[in-house]
Amino acid sequence: MIKFIEQWGTGTNRIVNSCLNYGLPEPMFEEITGGLVVTLRKEISAESLREMGLNERQIKTVRYIREKGYITSKEYQSLFNVSRATATRDMKSLEEKGIVKSRGTGKRDLKYVLR
């Protein structure tokens, strides 16, 4: 049993490293009703993002997060010269579509990362 657990642990690291080496997002690991579900995600094209109803700011934001790893609301406001309300609305839309998720607590620590 211990060897199985050890192999499982190193296997997940290999999966994550392989995805990152190929320029893909990290896979999602979820425990669902006692089982492990691994979701592998592909790179999302600008065209498919447009088809999802994203505006150009949001599409550029996805590219920005891919390069930097995250974006804050303040960075979003500065990059696109928009109000805090617009930044919040755009980021909320990205969250609802399952493209980004927020990390951190409070206004100063909140960052958005790709799902």
In the prediction, which pLDDT does 20 show?
72
> Cβ contacts of residue 106 below 8 Å, gap of 6+?
none
User: What are the structural domains, with CATH classification, of the chain?
Assistant: 2-39 (no CATH), 46-114 (1.10.10.10)
| d(C-alpha 30, C-alpha 53), whole Å | 28
| d(C-alpha 7, C-alpha 105), whole Å | 35
Q: Where are any strands of DSSP class E within the chain?
A: 28-32, 35-39, 100-103, 111-114
Q: pLDDT tens across 25-75, in order? A: 778 888 888 888 888 877 777 887 888 889 999 999 999 998 898 999 999
Which amino acid, 49?
Answer: L
